[in-house]
């Protein structure tokens, strides 16, 4: 615009106008440069923010994708009845009780066979056993206890390799660094090569990551218990916060008289949405655990606390959705003789439902990633067994990530990233559903 | 019956009640439907409400009261000499509860043996897979026996009360179903009452937060004076050893300094980036760029903070340590203020940018057009006209982001460190209010020791600070909106 003004024919302007224009012209170059700079700053800010996002995702995925595969060692195991059940008692109880070293003997025997070791070569045997997870013997024991008819037969069994072997096979422990600084020694590398040649050692999809519970051995640790715990919590949150949130917002939006009291509730809800989540954790600890004596670490308590944290989000979203339904709908309903309640439940609420569900799903997604309040109520325990009801102790996906993040071992770091990827996939799925819902049912009045 | 079974029973009978009510109203009215005061569904709902609500209320009330009754029974049955102090008492109660759990496992013959003292209860329990820390004392055995009796009795009583309430409600409402009953009004009033109850949950939550924090914090302040807490410069709580009288020092100032210093760096990252991208989105970007870049930036707000914490711990922290702190000789730790602040800043960008974007877009078109018509460039318009007009709103957005930063937990737990110190070097470990809340509440909790209770005093302080910032920010934003509406 300024440019256009400066090119007007001089003959049509008076002397003072010409002076003004030349004054403007002097600064014009500088002002355009400032304009370009300002615009570049804006673009740079957007780019930097998006780059942060890319770096964040890149670093997590780069660290974690390898954890979805795991090194296994497949060996033929001779379930020798003389070793497993020396006294002839083949029941599950007999297998589970007594000396567990006999299962180590089974593993040692099959390792000797697979590697074709000299039976007197004890060092070679111990080096070989170093490659196998220390959880192999218990694994074998539960396998036999589950199916005692295996005793006396021969089967191939997939054993887990240790976390270090796994890291070596995947290339994150490199062979070219000096042996003294390497977690995998030269003798182990030789054995790994031999096992690979025998086709005994291979990479397979890591199902244990999704099914196992907590373990001190990274190769045996998984997010199974955490997934179930998170699922229970989400069910509790959904069952409580959706009805409470919808009922509360319908009252506030459609029935409540506009007075001091509803103003207080309104301000209060907005403030609750911004209260730090750790404060909700303190509330849960003081009220649900210390006062009401609900069990610690239970997913029920976690669900209750998360319900309180998500309720403001759901109420705010529901009220926005109800507000978006035009008053003509209500007037039409009342006009044909419906009661106020009937109008709301038969007409307004169904029309607002897509917005309500979108808000609920986004609230649930927030709840799924919430960590701090769960730490307060003790959902960071070492839990191996699946919880059967929401009253049993459990962990949650984010708290499991927290526990693994503080473990020093490399293999746990890889698993932490993998668990984060799992969490992010869930969040992505939930948010996509919310977006699809909004696109499909959104109505412009 | 467990609570889940009772809930299922209530659900089943309520449905049955609905069907009965519906059926009776239809039968009574016969062909003359017009004689009914409400549609049949409302009669069904009327019976359903009478069946479900009293039973549910009784179930909830009794389930909440159960632990108190049980603890009371245990306490009554303990000899006076073990009831010396509160800490001892809670240990004794959990001991008796363990013995009670053990007694449920043993067979009747073994129970008889234990009673006449032939075998030690501890060895019998161990055989059933319940190892105990010490031998079972006779009075514990007595108390545990009573406890089991009382808890079984209570369970039966809860079952009976719920079933009675169900039966009474169902029959009462069913009998009252008549064509002249104004079922719709009754049902609608009940629903309205339920909705009012639901909307007051928000108020109850606030009251609950304030009361629970206040109650425990006051207990803490009875042991450590508020002046020592808020003005103390040394944080050294020691460990909460059972029975120790030593309490250590609880200085709040180093934690507060750490919190503010980290938030300062977070704002240093978030405010320029967030504000500039908001301006770019609102004033320059075309609709295509806007519709892709805006959701992308908002993803940053949807990522759980534990993920940022891990990112800071494993990626940003080591980078800053190896390439900045070590060469400059300023620090040796991957946990430092700068890492936590930087990553927190990234997390907060969308909080600043979204709200600022809304506020900038809300500035009336006429202001913008007027300035452009006078010959100002876009950047001049933005800097000299729009930003001053939007300033209160932008300040509100920044304050809200600030309150997020102060209350943020997981990033600082993983990335800032645990050493409570107040220094100016951003490459040193420092700690925050939230980190110490988490630290003090992990492990065994003794709700009588200052080491545990201090977390609630910290929580109360945090709540007050963030609430103050939020109220201020929301008032500013609200005032601003009113100005242009």
Over residues B284-333, the pLDDT tens digits come to 988 999 889 988 999 999 999 999 999 999 999 999 999 988 888 888 88
Q: What's the average model confidence in pLDDT over B401-422?
A: 90
Residues of chain A with CATH 1.10.3720.10: 224-441
DSSP 3-state of B18: helix
Instruction: State the DSSP string of B148-202.
Output: HHHHHHHHHHHHHHHHHHHHHHHHHHHHH--TT--HHHHHHHHHHHHHHHHHHHH
The pLDDT value given to residue B85: 61
State whether B375 and A24 contact (CB < 8 Å). Answer: yes
Q: Which two tokens stand for residue A389?
A: 């009801």
Residues B432 and B458 sit within 8 Å (Cβ to Cβ): no
Percentage of chain A exceeding pLDDT 90? 39
Of the candidates B68, B196, B466, the beta carbon closest to that of A276 is on: B466
Q: With the CA atoms of A125, A126, A130 and A134 taken in that order, what torsion angle do they form, in degrees rounded to the nearest 10?
A: 100
A272 and B206: CB-CB below 8 Å? Answer: yes
Residue A135 to chain B, least CA–CA distance (Å):
22
* Lowest mean pLDDT across A82-86, A263-267, A403-407, B11-15: A82-86
A 10 A CB-CB count for A90 gives 16
CA distance B441 to B455: 7
Which pLDDT value is given to residue B342?
95
Q: Is the pLDDT of residue B382 over 70?
A: yes
Say yes or no to pLDDT of B119 above 60.
yes
Cβ within 8 Å of residue A365, ≥6 positions away: A426, A427, A430, A431, A434, B302
* pLDDT number for residue B27: 87
| Confidence band of A2 (pLDDT split at 50, 70, 90) | very low
**Residue-level pLDDT at B485:** 60
Rounded mean pLDDT, A257-269: 86
C-alpha separations of B459 from A278, A281, A305, B203, B475 in Å: 8, 10, 16, 19, 24
Tokens of A235: 């069910």
List B236's β-bridge partners, or say none: B249
So what's the pLDDT on residue A307? 95
A295 interface with B at CB cutoff 8 Å: no
Residues 114-143 of A with CB under 8 A from B: none
Strands A201-205 and B235-236: unpaired
For the CA atoms of chain A, what is the radius of gyration? 33
The shortest CB-CB distance from A38 to any of B194, B308, B379 is to B379
A339 contact B CB<8A:
yes
Mean of pLDDT values over B371-393: 91
Closest CA to B344 of B425, B434, B267: B267
Distance of CA A380 to the CA centre of its chain: 15
Residues of A within 8 A of B277 (CB-CB) are 42, 45-46, 49
Tell me if B346 and A280 make a contact (CB, 8 A cut-off). no
Mean pLDDT of chain A: 86
Q: Which residues contact B106 (CB under 8 A, 6 or more apart)?
A: B114, B124, B125, B128
Q: At what angle do helices B287-302 and A15-64 cross, to 10 degrees?
A: 40
CB atoms within 10 A of CB A428: 13
Contact B409 A267 (CB under 8 A): no
Contact A133, A218 (CB under 8 A): no
Give chain B's mean pLDDT: 86
Specify whether domain B249-483 bears CATH 1.10.3720.10: yes
**pLDDT at position A3 over 70:** no
Tokens representing residue B165 in the block: 């309430």
Question: Looking at beta carbons, which residues of chain A come within 8 Å of B284?
Answer: 39, 42-43
A301-311 residues labelled b (16+ CB within 10 A) or e (exposed):
bbbbbbbbbbb
Phi, psi of A159, deg, nearest 5: -100, 155
Which tens digits make up the pLDDT trace of A215-229?
888 888 889 999 999
> Is A2:A28 a contact under the CB 8 Å cutoff?
yes
Q: What is the pTM of this model?
A: 0.87
Q: What is the DSSP letter of B234?
A: -
Beta partners for residue A298, in sequence order: A393
The DSSP symbol for A119 reads T
Tokens standing for A110? 């099959």
Q: Taking CB atoms and an 8 Å limit, are A370 and B280 in contact across chains? A: no
Give A148 to chain B, closest Cα distance, Å: 23
Query: What are φ and ψ of residue A325, in 5° steps?
Result: -75, 125
- Rounded Cα distance between B180 and B90, Å, is 58
3-state secondary structure of A156: strand
DSSP string, B63-92: HHHHHHHHHHHHHHHS-GGG-SSHHHHHHH
Instruction: Give the Cα separation of B145 and B96 in Å (integer).
Output: 9
Candidates A370, A376, A249, A393; CA nearest to B209 is: A376
Name which of A395, A162, A369 is nearest B310 in CA terms.
Answer: A369
Taking an 8 Å cut-off on Cβ atoms, the answer to whether B441 and A376 are in contact is yes
B21 vs B29: CA distance, rounded Å: 12
List of chain A residues whose C-beta atoms are within 8 Å of the C-beta of residue B198 = 243-245, 247-248, 251
> Which residues share a beta bridge with A202?
A72
Give the nearest partner residue to A405 out of B184, B309, B462, using CB atoms: B309
Cα–Cα distance for residue pair B21/B26, rounded to 1 Å: 9
- Mean pLDDT to the nearest integer, B12-34: 85
User: Which of B304, B339, B383, B449 is the best substitution to test chain A (most A C-beta atoms within 10 A)?
Assistant: B304
- pLDDT of amino acid B86: 59
Give which of B127, B128, B143, B129 is closest to B95, Cα–Cα: B143
Angle at A306 between CA A303 and CA A309, to 5 degrees: 155
Give CB contacts under 8 A, 24+ apart, made by A137-145. Answer: A137/A100, A137/A101, A137/A103, A137/A104, A137/A107, A138/A100, A138/A103, A140/A77, A140/A103, A140/A106, A140/A107, A141/A95, A141/A96, A141/A100, A141/A103, A142/A96, A144/A79, A144/A84, A144/A95, A145/A92, A145/A95, A145/A96
Mutation target to probe the A interface, by most A beta carbons within 10 A, among B205, B282, B435 is B205
**Could B382 and A256 be called an inter-chain contact, meaning their C-beta atoms sit closer than 8 Å?**
no
C-alpha distances (whole Å) from B292 to each of A355, A424, A432, B299, B358 are 22, 20, 15, 11, 17
Residue that wins the pLDDT comparison between A172 and A265: A265
Query: Is the pLDDT score of B356 beyond 50?
Result: yes
Smallest Cα distance from B300 to chain A, Å:
7
Class of domain A224-441: mainly alpha
Q: Residue B376's closest chain A neighbor by CA?
A: A2
Mean pLDDT check: name the lowest of A369-373, B119-123, B153-157.
B119-123
Quick one: DSSP state of residue B323?
I
Asked whether the beta carbons of residue B470 and residue A380 sit closer than 8 angstroms, the reply is: no
pLDDT digits (tens, 9 = 90+) for A335-383: 999 999 999 999 999 999 988 999 999 999 999 999 999 999 888 888 8
Bridge partners of residue B309, in order along the sequence: none
Per-residue pLDDT at A1 exceeds 50: no
Two tokens at B79? 């000899």
As a whole number of angstroms, the distance between CA B398 and CA B390 comes to 12
Percent of chain B predicted with pLDDT > 90? 43
pLDDT, tens digit, 9 for 90 and up, residues A380-430: 888 888 888 888 888 999 999 999 988 877 778 888 999 999 999 999 999
| Burial (Cβ within 10 Å: 0-12, 13-18, ≥19) of residue B406 | buried
Taking contacts as CB-CB distances below 8 angstroms, the residues of chain B near A415 are none
The 10 Å CB-count burial string (b at 16+, else e) for B213-230 is: beebbebbbeebeeeebe
How many CB atoms sit inside 10 A of residue B394's CB? 23
Runs of H (alpha helix) within A90-216: 92-96, 101-115, 122-131, 136-146, 163-169, 186-197, 208-211
| Chain centre to alpha carbon of residue B216 | 16
How many residues make up chain B in this entry?
485
Write out the H or E segment, with its range, that includes residue B328.
helix B326-328
Lowest mean pLDDT among B57-71, B299-313, B333-347, B455-469: B57-71
Query: B377 φ, ψ to 5°?
Result: -75, 170
pLDDT > 70: percent of chain A: 96
- Mean pLDDT in residue range B188-209: 92
What average pLDDT does range B395-417 have in this prediction? 92
Which of A276, A309, A340, A438 to mutate against chain B (most B CBs within 10 Å)?
A: A276
Q: Could you tell me the residue ranges of all domains in chain B?
A: 3-181, 249-483
Closest chain A residue to B184, measured at CA: A339
Radius of gyration of chain B measured on its C-alpha atoms: 32
Confidence class for position A180, pLDDT limits 50, 70, 90: confident
The Cα–Cα gap between A371 and B357 comes to 29
What is the rounded average pLDDT of the residues B382-409? 92
Which of A59, A339, A341 is opposite residue B311, by nearest beta carbon? A59
pLDDT on residue A98:
65
Q: Residue A72 phi/psi, 5° resolution?
A: -120, 155
In chain A, the N- to C-terminal Cα span, in Å, equals: 38
Q: State whether B209 and A278 contact (CB < 8 Å).
A: no
pLDDT at position B34: 66
User: Using CA atoms, how far apart are residues A336 and A343, in angstroms rounded to an integer?
Assistant: 10
Distances (CA, A) of A142 to A103, A111, B350: 11, 20, 50
pLDDT in tens, A81-121: 777 777 777 777 777 776 667 778 888 888 888 877 777 77
Tokens found for residue B459: 């929580």
Provide the greatest CA pair distance for chain B: 104
């Amino acid at each position: 615009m300024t440019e256009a003004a400066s090119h007007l024919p001089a003959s049509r302007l008076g002397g003072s106008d010409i002076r003004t224009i030349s004054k403007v012209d002097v600064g014009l170059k500088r002002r355009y440069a400032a304009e370009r700079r300002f615009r570049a700053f804006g673009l740079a800010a957007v780019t930097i923010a998006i780059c942060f996002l890319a770096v964040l995702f890149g670093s997590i995925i780069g660290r974690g994708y390898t954890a979805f595969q795991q090194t296994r060692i497949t060996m033929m195991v001779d379930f020798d009845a003389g070793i497993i059940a020396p006294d002839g008692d083949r029941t599950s109880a007999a297998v589970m009780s007594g000396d567990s070293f006999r299962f180590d003997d089974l593993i040692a025997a099959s390792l000797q066979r697979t590697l074709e070791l000299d039976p007197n070569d004890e060092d070679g045997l111990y080096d070989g056993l170093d490659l196998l997870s220390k959880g192999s013997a218990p694994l074998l024991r539960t396998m036999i206890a589950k199916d005692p008819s295996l005793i006396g037969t021969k089967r191939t069994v997939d054993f887990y390799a240790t976390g270090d072997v796994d890291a070596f096979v995947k290339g994150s422990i490199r062979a070219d660094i000096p042996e003294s600084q390497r977690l995998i020694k030269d003798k182990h590398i030789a054995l790994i090569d031999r096992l690979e040649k025998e086709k005994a050692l291979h990479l397979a999809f890591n199902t244990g990551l999704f099914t196992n519970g907590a373990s001190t051995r990274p190769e045996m640790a998984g997010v199974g218990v955490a997934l179930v715990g998170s699922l229970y919590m989400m069910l509790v949150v959904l069952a409580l916060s959706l009805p409470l949130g919808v009922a509360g917002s319908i009252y506030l939006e459609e029935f409540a008289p506009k007075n001091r009291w509803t103003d207080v509730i309104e301000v209060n809800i907005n403030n609750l949405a911004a209260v730090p989540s750790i404060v909700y954790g303190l509330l849960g600890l003081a009220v649900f655990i210390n006062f009401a004596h609900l069990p610690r670490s239970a997913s029920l308590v976690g669900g209750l606390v998360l319900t309180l944290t998500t309720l403001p989000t759901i109420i705010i979203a529901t009220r926005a959705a109800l507000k978006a339904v035009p008053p003509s709908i209500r007037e039409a309903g009342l006009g044909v003789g419906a009661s106020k309640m009937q109008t709301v439940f038969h007409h307004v609420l169904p029309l607002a439902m897509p917005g309500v569900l979108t808000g609920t799903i986004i609230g649930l997604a927030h709840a799924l990633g919430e960590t701090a309040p769960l730490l307060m109520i003790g959902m960071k325990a070492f839990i191996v067994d699946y919880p059967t009801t929401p009253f049993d102790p459990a962990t949650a996906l984010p708290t499991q990530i927290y526990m693994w993040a503080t473990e020093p071992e490399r293999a746990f770091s890889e698993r932490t990233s993998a668990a984060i990827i799992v969490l992010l996939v869930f969040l992505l799925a939930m948010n996509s559903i919310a977006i699809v819902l909004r696109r499909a049912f959104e109505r412009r009045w | 019956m467990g609570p889940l079974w009772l809930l299922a029973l209530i659900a089943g009978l309520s449905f049955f009640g609905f069907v009965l009510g519906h059926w009776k109203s239809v039968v009574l009215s016969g062909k003359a439907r017009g004689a009914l005061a409400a549609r049949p569904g409302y009669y069904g709902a009327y019976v359903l409400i009478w069946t479900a609500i009293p039973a549910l209320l009784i179930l909830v009330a009794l389930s909440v009261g159960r632990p108190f009754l049980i603890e009371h029974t245990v306490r009554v049955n303990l000899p006076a000499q073990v009831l010396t102090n509160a800490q001892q008492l809670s240990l004794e109660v959990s001991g008796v509860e363990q013995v009670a759990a053990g007694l449920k496992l043993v067979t009747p013959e073994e129970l008889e043996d234990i009673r006449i003292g032939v075998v030690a209860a501890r060895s019998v329990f161990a055989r059933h897979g319940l190892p105990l820390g010490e031998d079972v004392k006779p009075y514990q055995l007595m108390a545990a026996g009573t406890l089991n009796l009382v808890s079984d009795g209570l369970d039966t009583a809860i079952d009976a009360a719920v079933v009675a309430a169900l039966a009474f409600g169902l029959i009462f409402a069913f009998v009252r179903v008549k064509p002249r009953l104004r079922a719709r009004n009754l049902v609608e009033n009940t629903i309205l009452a339920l909705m009012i109850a639901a909307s007051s949950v928000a108020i109850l939550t606030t009251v609950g937060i304030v009361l629970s924090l206040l109650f425990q914090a006051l207990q803490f302040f009875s042991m450590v004076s508020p002046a020592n807490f808020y003005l103390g410069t040394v944080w050294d709580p020691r460990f909460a050893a059972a029975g120790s009288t030593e309490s250590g020092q609880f200085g709040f100032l180093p934690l507060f300094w750490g919190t503010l210093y980290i938030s300062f760096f977070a704002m240093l990252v978030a405010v320029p980036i967030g504000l500039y991208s908001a301006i770019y989105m609102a004033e320059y970007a075309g609709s295509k760029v806007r519709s892709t870049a805006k959701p992308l930036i908002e993803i940053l707000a949807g990522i759980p903070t534990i993920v940022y914490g891990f990112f800071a711990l494993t990626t940003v922290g080591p980078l800053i340590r190896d390439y900045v702190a070590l060469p400059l000789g300023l620090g040796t730790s991957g946990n430092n203020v700068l890492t936590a602040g930087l990553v927190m800043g990234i997390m907060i960008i969308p909080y600043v940018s979204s709200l600022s974007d809304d506020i900038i877009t809300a500035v009336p078109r006429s202001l913008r057009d007027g300035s452009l018509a006078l010959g100002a460039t876009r950047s001049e318009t933005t800097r000299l006209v729009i930003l001053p007009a939007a300033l209160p709103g932008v300040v509100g957005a920044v304050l809200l982001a600030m309150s997020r930063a102060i209350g943020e937990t997981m990033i600082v737990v993983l990335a800032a460190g645990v050493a409570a110190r107040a220094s100016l070097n951003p490459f040193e470990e420092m700690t925050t209010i939230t980190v110490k809340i988490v630290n003090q509440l992990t492990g065994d909790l003794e709700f009588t020791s200052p080491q545990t209770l201090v977390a609630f005093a910290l929580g109360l302080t945090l709540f007050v600070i963030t609430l103050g910032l939020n109220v201020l920010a929301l008032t500013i934003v609200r005032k601003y909106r009113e100005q242009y509406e």
